[in-house]
Each structure stands twice: as C-alpha cells, then as structure tokens.
Amino acid sequence: MSERVVGTERVKRGMAEMQKGGVIMDVVNAEQAKIAEAAGAVAVMALERVPSDIRKAGGVARMADPTIIEAVMNAVSIPVMAKARIGHISEARILEAMGVDYIDESEVLTPADEEFHLLKSDYVVPFVCGCRDLGEALRRIGEGASMLRTKGEPGTGNIVEAVRHMRKVNSQIRTLQTKSDDELMTFARDIGAPYTLVKEVKELGKLPVVNFAAGGVATPADAALMMSLGADGVFVGSGIFKSESPEKFARSIVRATTNYEDYTLLAELSKDLGEAMTGIEISNLAESERMQDRGW
C-alpha cells in the first residue's frame, strides 16, 4: 500500500457528498447535539448562539468558545462543524487544530475582513461558504470551498431569501448552458467568477461541489421546498431549538428532506408541531441587519 494523503480535494469535497439529502442542525450545547443526532441529523453546527439570538444580542459575533465546540464533539459521533468569521485566519486555524470536521466561513458572524475571504485551499479541513448567486459561488470555490450553501437571511425564520439565492444560482447555471464557448470569458467577467470554473460548470451542467439550503428554514415544508428547488440538503439554524418542540421539529424536518415530494407524508409531518420559531419580515430589517450582505 502507498502513503496516506490527507486534505485532498476529493477527500474534502467527498465529505460534503456524504452529507447529501441530510439535515445539518445548529446546536449550542451537548444536550442539543444529542437530540439532533437522535433525530437523524447528518452533522451539527456547534455555536455559542443560534443566529436569531445573535441578532438579538447585537455587538460583535465571534467564533464560539472552544469549550462548547469540544463538548459537542465529545457528545456525538456524527460530524461537527463550527463557524469562523469571514477572513479570520486565526479562528479558522484554531478550529482546524481542534479537529472540527468542517468550518463554515460564515456571514452569521461579524466579518473580520471586509475585502478578503480565507484561502481555503490552504487548509486540511474542508470549508462551507454562503452564496447568493453563481459568481459568489464560484469565487468561493476558487478560494477552495468544498461545499456551498445559500446565504438566505439567517435567524429570520423567513425562507424568501434562501429561495431567491437557490433559484438565482440554478437559473444562472441554465443560462450558462446556453452560452457558446466564445461567450464564456465575457460571462465570467460579468458574474465576477474564475473563467476555468465557469467552463467547468458549463461542462458539468451543475456546480462541482454540493450546494445546501440555509438561512430561514423553519418548517418541514420549508425544507421540502428547498429540496424541490434543487438543494442537496438543508441547514437548519434557529428553526429547531427555537421552536416549541425541538425533537419533533428535528425529526420531521429530517423526514421531510428525504421525502420532499411525498406530499401526503409532508402533511402528516406538519401536523401538531406546535409553534415554529417567530419569523421576521425581511423588509423590516435595517440594511445593517442584513447578514447576507456580508462578504462579496
């Protein structure tokens, strides 16, 4: 047998492929992590606060206390993700050194760098990043992201922005399919994406990494909607543990994600769930409160 090689593109992107069709849940302690795992989550995101509480708390949101992340890592056998601030090299390296399975370079936290994202290809640990359109998606992949998600509008319980971002990316991929090869450089310039990745997406007919839905998923029907729009899986942030009965919500969202086209079952899964998290109308958010505008 030859040597083991770690941190390759196949190993990093492959990890995200294994999460497909699954639900990744935000948790703030070991107890919530166990509930998520028992409900069938494919991974958990260890945080100090869920996005809706970050909104309420205001101020600067940073990487979680490593104590919380370690407690979650010790509590479950499924993968554990954690968030680093956009462009915060040291937070990312700390999380990598702790052995977290995936880092989310996330607009939910206050950006550390308003100009540059992390050079994610430099790390052994894989990264997931948010995107609102194809250009942003390909810029992140160009920097080395192994997985994407819609940005949506985190912590609002309002699916409208995630829908907008998923539709936008997929519609731009369809437009790209209709372009002739001599139009690709101009297309790449117009969307601000690396030319080689534009060519690759045209050939593949899809993104070269998985793309999950995130930012506003609050109900089983929301999860099913995002899957039917072409998401590879779903992140649920505040939606589970800010609902009235987290265990039930978690289980129902997992089943809805797998069976997103079985509408009779979705009706069953939506029954007697109790209150979902309280939603926020996006137009009521001040511009400074829009997390999706962080990063570029």
Which residue ranges make up the annotated binding site for D-glyceraldehyde 3-phosphate? 167
Sheet bearing 43-46, strands edge to edge: 210-212, 147-150, 127-131, 102-106, 80-85, 43-46, 23-27, 234-236
Residues whose CB falls within 8 Å of the CB of residue 25, separated by 6 or more in sequence, listed in order: 36, 39, 41, 43, 44, 45, 235, 236, 240, 250
Binding residues are: 26, 155, 167, 216, 237-238
Catalytic residue among 83, 120, 202, 248, which? 83
CB of 16 to other proteins, least distance (A): 10
Q: CB-wise, 18 or 185, nearer to other proteins?
A: 18
| DSSP 8-class letter at 277 | P
CB of 53 to other proteins, least distance (A): 26
CB of 216 to other proteins, least distance (A): 22
Q: 198, 211, 223, 295: which is closest to 39 by C-alpha?
A: 223
Active-site residue flag, 34: no
Q: CB-wise, 1 or 286, nearer to other proteins?
A: 1
Residues in contact with other proteins by the rule CB under 8 A? 1-8, 10-11, 14-15, 17-22, 37, 40-43, 77-79, 96, 99-102, 124-126, 254-255, 258
Residues whose CB falls within 8 Å of the CB of residue 193, separated by 6 or more in sequence, listed in order: 134, 135, 137, 138, 139, 142
CB of 23 to other proteins, least distance (A): 8
Please identify every residue annotated as catalytic.
83
